[in-house]
Structure 1
């Protein structure tokens, strides 16, 4: 579905009109394209007191291909950059990327232990934010507050969330701002997440705080070659085809967000097994056939389906399960029928429980696997006329949070994405006024695309994300609802 207003105000005539009468002008977001460089430009590095993550960050910058400059707060960056053979220098306000602007701002706040030390964040972003270009990236690094040694350190690290979310709302121009909490000992597990947040793949993900734990079970099958080791001593992941050799199940894969997920996982090298209802068989095969995947027509709400799916996946098993299938039947609860309530809860939530139980009991989902569930911003904030849908999507979040520790024994991660307003056939049916409100009430002032959800799921399915589990990541352009 097209956003007519976005297209108009970014046309030559529309841009002039918007400027002359003061209309808001949403930025055309830079999204991932296989024919364009994923990482390009100049990155400014800042740091607080005794930063712990600069060495790991230097390796990421070196392997991604960015060039860097050090703000005066990051005095340790220059020698680290030299060790990693990085081109670097000192930050000056006139520093320019390919369009006269910086591509990203990264601040290592991991060593901040007291609220008085937050001043270094002010100094860095005060000096650099105006040099950040359109669709630039802001990433703040910290330590998980709940793992801090003292109340003062917990307090200071928790303050990073308010700062980061505010930066996302202040920066505009398609800029995203995200916070990555890296647990002690998990420094070498942060690369996949840093690459995601620094790349065009995260174009509609902003204002999020992601925790990376020190699980130490990165997937050995993801190596670029037997025994491949980076300079830091960590296993080298295959960044071009990280899911090569993996098998991924995607429910509701016939069209829309499900089809985008199937395409994103296949592009990363996975063999995709798409599942949808029998009446959507033709659309499902149209989606899956070009991906050289497998199409399975099943009604996931039927009680016999989980066992049938487990049997159909045979002895090869699967590595990734994406629970995308879902429906809406909107009415206020006083006018809602019992059938409408039951069907939404059953398809959106209970079917996920039954399918996971079957796959786990049969050993079909292999150890070290990934489960990614599609929740919704409605499950976080609620929504008028969606008590059934919001309950189901909040329940999905409950599944993720409750199952993470249980699945850790098998090195399986479980996470959820919570989309906001995404341009799909479903949202095209929303009345115009409500549709426009959904599009504009976020920091990007526009709706997201199915590919935005798909790329976020591909990141959570990545072999390098073994330390991320039990979390919910909103794909909502930093929605003003449910913040």
Structure 2
């Protein structure tokens, strides 16, 4: 899977993903997804199993779906919200209370709803169950929220280790457990967890981050057989170097090295990650479960 692209920031297109995985990977929207295998399984979601003749608008494949996106106020999360809304979904946007104003603006722009919650708060899983049940259940969840607190392992205080693990991994597990126990996900629901190339290959000075993102992949692999038995699916995306506010703060030399450590010799954009997630949430990815899709321009790391 490979496609050419320019360094210019890609724009959202009006047309939705094509109907088959092969067509999707031949689309410009998968331009930053390259050099890997995606396996299709016979264990399909309830929606696909019930028949191919179910009404489906190919221009808006997520029409009528309600989906939660965490870390939704900026960067990759904001791009995910915009992309899912473009594809017809009603989006429930979640971020920390400190990001309230930005979150409200994002939700208002797509006519979604906003939840100002800290995912590490012990009461948040129950609050999300209540919100999901009020919506009649959710059709999709995108666990995008994440943080970095970089130090070499020898110099890392315990609170930096614990905070990264709790936000990036622990909260995802707690939320999934609560939603599954309460049966707050609809039949055919799909879940996407945002991991990282660091979770596959590690990264100097990011032991806590790499550990947490590797754990996300383990969580996906563990939950995949459980969810598919209920007609659902869960997958992960592993972004490489993506041009965001967070990576803009990295020193220039390191930033440029990150851009060049892949076959395309450039960084990706938040929309590259968002497009892959939108496909994984759509009916055309019904045969994809327990997979990790690298959105990294065929990075040398984790290949």
Q: TM-score, normalised by structure 1?
A: 0.59
Matched with 2:271 is 451
Q: CA deviation at 1:253?
A: 0.2
Structure 2 residue matching 1:301: 3-state secondary structure: coil
Residue aligning to 1:34: 13
SS at match of 1:219: helix
CA contact (8 A) 1:27 1:444 kept: no
**Aligned partner (choices 426, 440, 446) of residue 246 of structure 2:** 426
1:385 alignment partner, SS class: coil
* Residue equivalent to 2:171: 351
Alignment match of 2:143 (pick from 323, 345, 348): 323
Tell me the number of residue pairs that the alignment of Structure 1 and Structure 2 aligns. 299
Aligned equivalent of 1:374: 194
Conserved 8 A contact 1:264-1:454: yes
Counterpart for residue 197 of structure 1: 25
The aligned counterpart of 1:256 is 75
Post-superposition offset of 1:236: 6.9
Answer yes or no: is the 8 Å Cα contact 2:132–2:184 preserved in 1.
yes
Match of 2:92 in 1: 273
User: Which of 239, 248, 252 is the aligned partner of 2:58?
Assistant: 239
- Residue in 2 that maps onto 1:209: 37
The change in CA–CA distance for 1:276 and 1:33 in structure 2 (over 3 A counts) is closer
What secondary structure does 1:327 align onto?
Answer: coil
Any conservation in 1 of the 2:244–2:270 contact (CA below 8 Å)? yes
Instruction: Select which of 203, 212, 217 maps to 1:397.
Output: 217
Corresponding residue for residue 298 of structure 1: 117
Counterpart Cα distance in 2 of 1:38 and 1:317: 24
Look up the SS of the partner of 1:208 in the other structure.
coil
Query: Quick check: 2:63–2:88 contact (8 Å CA) kept in 1?
Result: yes
In 2, the alpha carbon distance for the partners of 1:31 and 1:423 equals 12
Question: What residue in structure 1 maps to residue 105 of structure 2?
Answer: 286
Q: Distance in 1 between the 2:138 and 2:111 partners?
A: 16
Give CA deviations for 1:80-135 in whole Å, capped at 9, x if unaligned.
xxxxxxxxxxxxxxxxxxxxxxxxxxxxxxxxxxxxxxxxxxxxxxxxxxxxxxxx
Partner of 2:284: 464
- 1:22-421 alignment runs, 5 A limit: 27-28=6-7, 31=10, 33-34=12-13, 191-217=19-45, 219=47, 229=53, 237-315=56-134, 316-421=136-241
Structure of greater Rg: 1
Aligned with 1:310: secondary structure? helix
Residues 33/276 of structure 1: CA separation in 2 closer, same or farther (3 Å cut): closer
Where 1:474 maps in the other structure, the secondary structure is strand
The separation in 2 between residues aligned to 1:258 and 1:195, in whole angstroms, is 25
| Deviation of the 1:194 alpha carbon | 1.6
CA distance in 2, matches of 1:399, 1:250: 18
Q: Would the aligned equivalents of 2:16 and 2:61 in 1 still touch at CA under 8 Å?
A: no
> Would the aligned equivalents of 1:277 and 1:300 in 2 still touch at CA under 8 Å?
yes
